[in-house]
C-alpha cells in the first residue's frame, strides 16, 4: 500500500509549511486563508465553499468506514501496445506519472464498507495523466463492477477524468465498451451502481460508465460533459454561456440526480444505498 | 456527383483524363488503340504503385474522401424494402444517423448508420455525419425494437465524431452515447458493425458494440481525430499526419491488434472508384458473418459480445 505512506508524508509536509506560515489564496473568491484550513475543510474553500480536488486517498478516508478499505489490483500498470511516442515515449510518461503520484495508475479500486455495508469502489487519480482511461483503468473499473456482481454488493465510482488516454489509441476507446458491458451484467444482479461526478468528468469516461449510474451524484461546480469547452468553442466559434457544463447546469438540464457538497457526500451515499439496496 | 480527388490521386486522375480525351478523339475506331492500351497499362501500374504504399495519413484522407460511398449507398445496393424510421420519441429527429427496417437477402434486419452529406445543402441536414444526442437515442430506441422482434442489427459506421455543440451538451451527449453502449452490450440478437469510412471516437463506438466488427481497407477507427491528438500532444495541428501514424488507426493495424475481426478489401483505387464492387464485398462479408452467428442462442450472443470486449486491453503486472 504505497499510497498510505505517501499521504502521511504529504500531511507532514503540509504541517511543516503551515508552521512556516503558508497561506493559500482561493482562486474562486480571492480570500487568503491558512493552507491548514483548506486541508481541514476537505479542500473546500472555508470562505466561499468552492470545491478543490480531493485526492483519491482523501476520498477513501472521507467515504469509507475507517480501515475498511482493501485495495484490489494495485499491481496493474500500463503497457505500451502502440509503441506511442509524441514529445516523449508513453512508457516514460506513465513511469513518470507513477513516480510523481505514487500510484500505479489513474484508478484506485478495491473493497470497503459504508456504515457496515460492503461496497465495491473505484476512485480516479486525476493527478495520474489527467485521470485518463487506458487499458488499466478500464480493466480496474470493469473488475469493480464484476466484484460487485459476484459479492452481491453495490458499486460506486468516483469519476475525475479528462477522458480516454490517447496514447493507447483504440484500446482506450474500447474500454468504454468493456466497462459498459460490465454494467449491463451488474444490472442483471439487481445491485445498484452509483456514479459520483467530480471535477472534471468529460470525454470517454463521461460517455460510458460515468453516465450509466442508477443514480448520478455530482459535486458542486464540477465540469461535466462530453466535449471539452475549448473544443466546443472552436467548433461553434461562439462564447459559451456562464456556468455551461457545470454541475448546476446539468441538474437544470435533467442530467444529474442531485448535487452533494463534499461534507455531506458520505451520508447521502449511505442513505441512497439504504433506499436502493435495502 | 462532382468527382473530386486527393493530392496523391492526382497523377492517376490526370492520366485517366488523358486516356478519356484520347478515346474521344479516336471515336469507335481502332485509331490510337495501341497508345490507349499503353496508357491504360501505365495507369494500372501507377494505381498499384500509389495504393500499395499508402501511409496512415493518406488512408485518413481516403476514409474522408468526398466521393466515398456513404451509408445509404450501401442500403440501396445491399438491401430491399427499406423503410426508414425516424425520431427518438423524446426530442427530435437527427438525420446524421439513418435507421430502418430492411431485407438483406432473405433476412429481415435493422440497419443503422451514420450518414454524411454529399454537398453543403445535404450537410446542413446531415451535419457532416456528426450526430446529436437525438441520433444516439433514436439508435438506442431501434436497437431495443430490433431486440424485441428478433431482428439482426447491421450498423454502418462513418462519422468524424459526435457533435460537440452547446445543444448537444445541454441534452446529454455523453449520456446518450453511454446508453447506446450499455444497450448494445445486452442485445439478444446478432449485431454486426462495419466501419465504412471514419470511425470517430465515442460517436462511432456508440454503434460499434457488436458481435463482429468489420472494417473497409481504407476506413479508420480512432479514439481521437489525428488533428485533435496533434493539437493536444504536439501543440501543433500540422502534426496530424504524425499523430495518424502513432495512433494506429488503420484497418490493418486494428486487425493485427485483434480489435476488429476482418478487413474488407476495397476495389483498386479505393471504394469511391467502384460503388458496386465495394458494396458486393461488404455484403458478402456481412452475409458470411451473419450466417456464422445464426446458430447462436440469444444468451450466447450476449456472452460472445461480452467476452469479445472484456478481453480488449493490454497491461502489465508490476513486480
Nearest by CB to residue B202, choosing from A82, A136, A204, is: A204
Chain segment A57-67, per-residue pLDDT in tens: 999 999 999 99
- Is B164–A255 a contact, with Cβ atoms under 8 angstroms apart? no
Q: In chain A, what percentage of residues exceed pLDDT 90?
A: 87
- Interface check B233 vs A, CB under 8 A: yes
Q: Rounded CA gap, B95 and B93, in Å?
A: 6
CA-nearest residue of chain A to B246?
Answer: A84
Q: Do the beta carbons of residue A82 and residue A74 sit within 8 Å?
A: no
Q: For the residues A155-184, what does the mean pLDDT come to?
A: 98
- Is B310–A255 a contact, with Cβ atoms under 8 angstroms apart? no
- Enumerate the β-bridge partners of residue A77: B316
CATH superfamily of B60-310: 2-enoyl-CoA Hydratase; Chain A, domain 1 (3.90.226.10)
Q: For the residues A244-263, what does the mean pLDDT come to?
A: 98
A30 and A89 both lie in a single domain: no
> Which residues of A fall within a CB distance of 8 Å from B169?
225-227, 232, 244-245
CATH number of the domain at A147, please.
Answer: 3.90.226.10
A64 and A156 both lie in a single domain: yes
H-type helices in chain A, by residue range?
2-19, 35-40, 56-63, 90-101, 135-151, 169-189, 203-206, 229-236, 247-252, 262-277
A57 and A129 both lie in a single domain: yes
A77 and A149 both lie in a single domain: yes
Mutant choice from A134, A135, A184, A193 vs B, greatest count of B C-beta within 10 A: A184
- Is A75–B318 a contact, with Cβ atoms under 8 angstroms apart? yes
A90 and A168 both lie in a single domain: yes
- Is A236–B166 a contact, with Cβ atoms under 8 angstroms apart? yes
> What is the Cα Rg of chain A in Å?
19
Range of the domain at A160: 51-276
Nearest by CB to residue B174, choosing from A142, A226, A238, is: A226
Residue A2 has pLDDT above 80, yes or no: no
> Residue A21 — pLDDT band, cuts 50, 70, 90?
low
pTM: 0.95
CA-nearest residue of chain B to A223?
Answer: B169
A66 and A55 both lie in a single domain: yes
**How would you label B197-223 residue by residue, b for 16+ Cβ within 10 Å and e otherwise?**
bbbbbbbbbbbbbbbbbbbbbbbbbbb
A132 and A162 both lie in a single domain: yes
A26 and A149 both lie in a single domain: no
The complex's ipTM works out to: 0.96
The domain limits of chain B are 14-53, 60-310
Which residues neighbour B288 within 8 Å (Cβ) at sequence distance 6 or greater?
none
Chain A nearest CA to B215, separation (Å): 14
Q: What is the mean pLDDT of chain A?
A: 93
Chain segment A115-142, per-residue pLDDT in tens: 999 999 999 999 999 999 999 999 999 9
Write out residues 166-195 of A within 8 Å (CB-CB) of B.
166, 168-178, 180-185, 187
H-type helices in chain B, by residue range?
10-26, 33-52, 56-63, 71-78, 120-126, 133-148, 166-170, 173-185, 201-205, 226-229, 240-247, 251-256, 275-293, 298-310
Low-confidence ranges of chain B (pLDDT < 50): none
A7 and A23 both lie in a single domain: yes
Nearest by CB to residue B222, choosing from A170, A206, A241, is: A170
> Which residues of A fall within a CB distance of 8 Å from B172?
211, 253-255
The more confident residue out of A6 and A154 is A154
Q: Rounded CA gap, A124 and A128, in Å?
A: 9
Q: In chain A, what percentage of residues exceed pLDDT 70?
A: 92
User: Dihedral, CA atoms, A136, A141, A147, A152, nearest 10 degrees?
Assistant: 180
> Which residues of B fall within a CB distance of 8 Å from A78?
315-316
> Residue A277 — pLDDT band, cuts 50, 70, 90?
very high
> Residue A236 — pLDDT band, cuts 50, 70, 90?
confident
Domain tally for chain A? 2
Amino acid at each position: 500500500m504505497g499510497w498510505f505512506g505517501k499521504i502521511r508524508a504529504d500531511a507532514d509536509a503540509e504541517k511543516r509549511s503551515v508552521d512556516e506560515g503558508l497561506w493559500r489564496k482561493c482562486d474562486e473568491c480571492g480570500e487568503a486563508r491558512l493552507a491548514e484550513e483548506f486541508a481541514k475543510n476537505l479542500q473546500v474553500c472555508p470562505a466561499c465553499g468552492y470545491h478543490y480536488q480531493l485526492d483519491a486517498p482523501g476520498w477513501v478516508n472521507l467515504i469509507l468506514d475507517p480501515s475498511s478499505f482493501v485495495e484490489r489490483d494495485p499491481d496493474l500498470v500500463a503497457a505500451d501496445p502502440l509503441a506511442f511516442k509524441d514529445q516523449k515515449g508513453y512508457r516514460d510518461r506513465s513511469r513518470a506519472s507513477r513516480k510523481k503520484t505514487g500510484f500505479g495508475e489513474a484508478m484506485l479500486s478495491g473493497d470497503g464498507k459504508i456504515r457496515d455495508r460492503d461496497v465495491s469502489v473505484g476512485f480516479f487519480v486525476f493527478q495520474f495523466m489527467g485521470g485518463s482511461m487506458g487499458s488499466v483503468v478500464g480493466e480496474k473499473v470493469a473488475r469493480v463492477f464484476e466484484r460487485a456482481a459476484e459479492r452481491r454488493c453495490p458499486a460506486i465510482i468516483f469519476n475525475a477524468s479528462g477522458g480516454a488516454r490517447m496514447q493507447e489509441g483504440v484500446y482506450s476507446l474500447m474500454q468504454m465498451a468493456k466497462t459498459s458491458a460490465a454494467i449491463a451484467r451488474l444490472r442483471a444482479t439487481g445491485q445498484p451502481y452509483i456514479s459520483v461526478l467530480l471535477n472534471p468528468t468529460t470525454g470517454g469516461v463521461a460517455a460510458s460508465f460515468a453516465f450509466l449510474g442508477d443514480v448520478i451524484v455530482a459535486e458542486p461546480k464540477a465540469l461535466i460533459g462530453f466535449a471539452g469547452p475549448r473544443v466546443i468553442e472552436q467548433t461553434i466559434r461562439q462564447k459559451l454561456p456562464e456556468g455551461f457544463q457545470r454541475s448546476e447546469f446539468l441538474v437544470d438540464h435533467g442530467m444529474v440526480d442531485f448535487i452533494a457538497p463534499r461534507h455531506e457526500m458520505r451520508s447521502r451515499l449511505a442513505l441512497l444505498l439504504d433506499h436502493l439496496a435495502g | 456527383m462532382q468527382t473530386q480527388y486527393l493530392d496523391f490521386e492526382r497523377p492517376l486522375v490526370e492520366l485517366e483524363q488523358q486516356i478519356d480525351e484520347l478515346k474521344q478523339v479516336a471515336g469507335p475506331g481502332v485509331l490510337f488503340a495501341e497508345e490507349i492500351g499503353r496508357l491504360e497499362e501505365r495507369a494500372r501500374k501507377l494505381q498499384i504503385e500509389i495504393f500499395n504504399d499508402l501511409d496512415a495519413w493518406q488512408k485518413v484522407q481516403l476514409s474522408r474522401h468526398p466521393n466515398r460511398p456513404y451509408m445509404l449507398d450501401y442500403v440501396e445496393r445491399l438491401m430491399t424494402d427499406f423503410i426508414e424510421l425516424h425520431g427518438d420519441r423524446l426530442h427530435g429527429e437527427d438525420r446524421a444517423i439513418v435507421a430502418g427496417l430492411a431485407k438483406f437477402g432473405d433476412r429481415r434486419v435493422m440497419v443503422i448508420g451514420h450518414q454524411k452529406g454529399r454537398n453543403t445543402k445535404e450537410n446542413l441536414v446531415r451535419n457532416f455525419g456528426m450526430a446529436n444526442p437525438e441520433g444516439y437515442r433514436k439508435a438506442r430506441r431501434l436497437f431495443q425494437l430490433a431486440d424485441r422482434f428478433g431482428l439482426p442489427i447491421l450498423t454502418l459506421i462513418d462519422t468524424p465524431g459526435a457533435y460537440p455543440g452547446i445543444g448537444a451538451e445541454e441534452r446529454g451527449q455523453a449520456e446518450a452515447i453511454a446508453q447506446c453502449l450499455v444497450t448494445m452490450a445486452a442485445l439478444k440478437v446478432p449485431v454486426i458493425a462495419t466501419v465504412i469510412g471514419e470511425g470517430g471516437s465515442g460517436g462511432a463506438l456508440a454503434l460499434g458494440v457488436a458481435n463482429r466488427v468489420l472494417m473497409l481497407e481504407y476506413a479508420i477507427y480512432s479514439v481521437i481525430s489525428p488533428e485533435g491528438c496533434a493539437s493536444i500532444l504536439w501543440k501543433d495541428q500540422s502534426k496530424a499526419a504524425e499523430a495518424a501514424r502513432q495512433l494506429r488507426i488503420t484497418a490493418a493495424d486494428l486487425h493485427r491488434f485483434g480489435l476488429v475481426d476482418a478487413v474488407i478489401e476495397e476495389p483498386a483505387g479505393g471504394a469511391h472508384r467502384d460503388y458496386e464492387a465495394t458494396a458486393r464485398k461488404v455484403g458478402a462479408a456481412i452475409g458470411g458473418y451473419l450466417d456464422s452467428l445464426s446458430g447462436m442462442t440469444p444468451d450466447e450472443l450476449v456472452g460472445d459480445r461480452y467476452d469479445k470486449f472484456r478481453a480488449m486491453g493490454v497491461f502489465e503486472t508490476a513486480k
